[in-house]
Amino acid sequence: MTASPVQQFLERLGRDPLLQVKVQAAVTADEVARLAQELGYAFSGSDLLMLSGRSAAGVRVTRVNHPGEYPGRYY
């Protein structure tokens, strides 16, 4: 079974310290998705948020609530 683009990206993220810095600097899941798309991984910020609270490829996905967001929108 082939891993999803999100899982493939998270695997790369776990191995790439420079990418980790870029992801940590991103403010939204959409920004992370754009970084991933630049590297050839096609998924949306919503796809990423669906993994919130879970770990994949040794990387834990954590949703950060920012003021002005709609609670429950992605889960």
With CA atoms as reference, report the closest residue to 29 among 42, 13, 17, 44: 44
**Residues 6 or more apart in contact with residue 35 via CB below 8 angstroms:** 19, 22, 23, 26
In the predicted model, is pLDDT for residue 68 greater than 80?
A: no
Q: Give the predicted TM-score (pTM) of the model.
A: 0.81
Could you tell me the pLDDT band of residue 75, with boundaries at 50, 70 and 90?
low
**53-64: per-residue pLDDT in tens?**
898 888 899 887
- Structural domain boundaries of the chain? 5-60
Q: Which residue has the higher pLDDT, 17 or 75?
A: 17
User: Residue 71 above 90 pLDDT?
Assistant: no
User: What's the pLDDT tens digit per position in 44-54?
Assistant: 999 999 998 89
